[in-house]
Amino acid sequence: MGKAAMCIQMLQILNTGRVYKISELAEMLETNPRNIVEYKKELEECGYYIDTIPGRYGGYKLDQSEILPAFKFTLNEIDVIDEATNYLLTRNDFMLKDKFHGVMTKIYSSISKENFINELTVINRYPLAMPEEELNKRFEIIRTAIINKRVLKLKYVSQKNIEREHLYHPYDLFMYNNAWFVIGWCETWNDVIYFKLNRITEISQTSKIFRVYKFYNKRDYIDDFGFKKNGEWHHIEFEAYDTYASLVKERIYGKNQEIIPIDEKKTLVKVDMQNKENILVFILGFNKHIKVLEPQWLIDELKDFKEYLSNSY
């Protein structure tokens, strides 16, 4: 890689806003630390001022009042940008939508007009009843508290529809099933608890500072399949019929999933799923286009539900 390319790559790294040690930049660029000093001089001759921060935690930091020159995009890169923009702007769980739109406006300003995307029609199925502005407000309060390590005072409505006040140490924000959650230490329960943002009725940041417990590891509570501490796992086997024989192949429903096509109108699904109540709701969503093979408790629950409907209507 030539000297000019290395300078540009170093400029892109520094544009993240972080302070980088010379040794750190040299490792990232796979070059000698002496070259980093030369690249700094080259960039400053081009009008990019790089601060030298003294001390143990010092290093190089870009003066971000300067603006990076516009980059040219290939047609394939424009397609990627379009797809990503369309996807994120249609999601009601993307909390930085307004800021993202502003960023993308700058990017699109460097692309020729004939490559602009058309107006997008957005249809959200089952959007949250809560106004997006209110959800954004809660998200920003929590995000700020995480950064500043400030204890939150909040009121939360549980699944049993009981509102309770909590003092809460927020650790991480994350999205699950198109909804935003915060996970952290709850002083009320004396444990790590997650709260769903749209169930918070009141929230404010206190002046009290917290420290993240050393034992905390987000992966101990959340994985790619949901909440680890959200009920026992159960092995489920069912057959899906008619149109669902095809539709059931499109998603991952839990761990150790097996999708076994029987014929064009029948598909066997084997999967481990969590939380009995959630499993029952999931199965009922297939209506009559499904037959549960196991476990027995689920078959019994479905029979009880069928009897309840017969007696109620």
- The residue ranges of every structural domain in the chain are 3-62, 75-115, 132-227, 233-312
pLDDT of residue 68: 52
pLDDT of residue 114: 45
CATH architecture entry for 132-227: Roll (2.30)
d(Cα 238, Cα 63) in Å, to the nearest integer? Answer: 60
Residues in the chain with pLDDT values less than 50? 113-123
Tokens at residue 148, please? Answer: 């500043």
Taking the model in full, what pTM does it have? 0.52
Q: What angle do CA 100, 131, 151 make, to 5 degrees?
A: 80
d(Cα 16, Cα 64) in Å, to the nearest integer? Answer: 9
Which DSSP category does 116 fall into? P
pLDDT of residue 210: 94
CATH number belonging to domain 233-312: 3.30.70
pLDDT of residue 64: 63
pLDDT of residue 216: 84
d(Cα 311, Cα 124) in Å, to the nearest integer? Answer: 36
CATH number belonging to domain 3-62: 1.10.10.10
Using CA atoms, how far residue 197 sits from 28, 134, 142, 161, 179, in Å, is 38, 10, 9, 15, 8
pLDDT of residue 119: 42
